[in-house]
Amino acid sequence: MFTDIENYFCFGCNPAAENMVNTTNMTIRMCRSYLESVWGGPLNKPTYAYDGCGFYTYWRSSPKAVIPSQVRYMR
Protein backbone atom coordinates (compact mmCIF):
# COMPACT_ATOMS: atom_id res chain seq x y z
CA MET A 1 0.00 0.00 0.00
CA PHE A 2 2.78 2.46 0.92
CA THR A 3 5.58 0.95 -1.17
CA ASP A 4 7.43 4.26 -1.69
CA ILE A 5 7.49 5.12 2.01
CA GLU A 6 8.53 1.55 2.87
CA ASN A 7 11.46 1.88 0.45
CA TYR A 8 12.40 5.20 2.09
CA PHE A 9 12.58 3.69 5.57
CA CYS A 10 14.52 0.67 4.22
CA PHE A 11 17.03 2.90 2.43
CA GLY A 12 19.79 2.46 5.00
CA CYS A 13 20.00 -1.29 4.39
CA ASN A 14 19.94 -1.03 0.60
CA PRO A 15 23.31 -2.05 -0.90
CA ALA A 16 23.10 0.90 -3.34
CA ALA A 17 22.77 3.40 -0.47
CA GLU A 18 26.54 3.90 -0.25
CA ASN A 19 26.45 5.48 -3.73
CA MET A 20 23.83 8.02 -2.65
CA VAL A 21 25.07 9.05 0.80
CA ASN A 22 27.59 11.79 1.48
CA THR A 23 28.86 11.17 5.02
CA THR A 24 30.93 14.37 5.03
CA ASN A 25 27.98 16.75 4.80
CA MET A 26 25.37 14.22 5.99
CA THR A 27 23.15 14.30 2.91
CA ILE A 28 21.31 11.71 0.85
CA ARG A 29 20.80 12.15 -2.91
CA MET A 30 17.34 11.12 -4.12
CA CYS A 31 15.39 11.77 -7.31
CA ARG A 32 12.82 14.54 -7.11
CA SER A 33 10.23 12.27 -8.77
CA TYR A 34 10.73 9.64 -6.06
CA LEU A 35 10.45 12.21 -3.27
CA GLU A 36 7.27 13.64 -4.82
CA SER A 37 5.88 10.11 -5.00
CA VAL A 38 6.62 9.57 -1.30
CA TRP A 39 5.31 13.04 -0.38
CA GLY A 40 2.17 12.61 -2.48
CA GLY A 41 2.64 15.67 -4.70
CA PRO A 42 4.77 18.78 -5.10
CA LEU A 43 7.37 19.19 -2.34
CA ASN A 44 6.50 22.86 -1.81
CA LYS A 45 2.93 22.03 -0.75
CA PRO A 46 1.62 20.22 2.32
CA THR A 47 0.69 16.57 1.91
CA TYR A 48 -2.41 14.89 3.24
CA ALA A 49 -1.24 11.44 2.14
CA TYR A 50 -0.28 10.27 5.63
CA ASP A 51 -2.53 12.33 7.89
CA GLY A 52 -4.47 9.19 8.80
CA CYS A 53 -1.38 7.65 10.37
CA GLY A 54 1.07 10.52 10.87
CA PHE A 55 4.64 9.86 11.93
CA TYR A 56 5.96 9.33 15.42
CA THR A 57 9.55 10.42 15.67
CA TYR A 58 12.15 11.77 18.05
CA TRP A 59 13.23 15.37 17.61
CA ARG A 60 16.15 16.42 19.78
CA SER A 61 15.55 13.46 22.11
CA SER A 62 11.87 14.32 22.62
CA PRO A 63 9.11 12.14 21.18
CA LYS A 64 6.91 14.02 18.74
CA ALA A 65 3.96 13.12 16.55
CA VAL A 66 4.20 14.72 13.10
CA ILE A 67 1.10 15.30 10.98
CA PRO A 68 2.44 15.73 7.42
CA SER A 69 -0.13 18.30 6.25
CA GLN A 70 0.99 20.58 9.09
CA VAL A 71 4.65 20.59 7.99
CA ARG A 72 5.38 24.03 6.50
CA TYR A 73 9.16 24.04 6.06
CA MET A 74 9.46 22.04 2.82
CA ARG A 75 10.89 23.90 -0.20
**In this predicted structure, what is the pLDDT of residue 75?**
45
For 18-50, the pLDDT digits (tens) are 888 888 988 888 889 988 988 888 988 888 877
For 48-60, the pLDDT digits (tens) are 877 777 666 766 7
How far apart are the C-alpha atoms of 48 and 36, rounded to whole Å? 13
- The pTM for the full model equals 0.60
Burial class of residue 39, CB neighbours in 10 A (0-12, 13-18, 19+): buried
Q: DSSP readout, 1-56? A: --HHHHHHHTGGG-GGGGGTEETTTTEE---HHHHHHHHTS-TTS---TTTTT-EE
Higher pLDDT, 41 or 71: 41
For the chain, the structural domain boundaries read 3-70
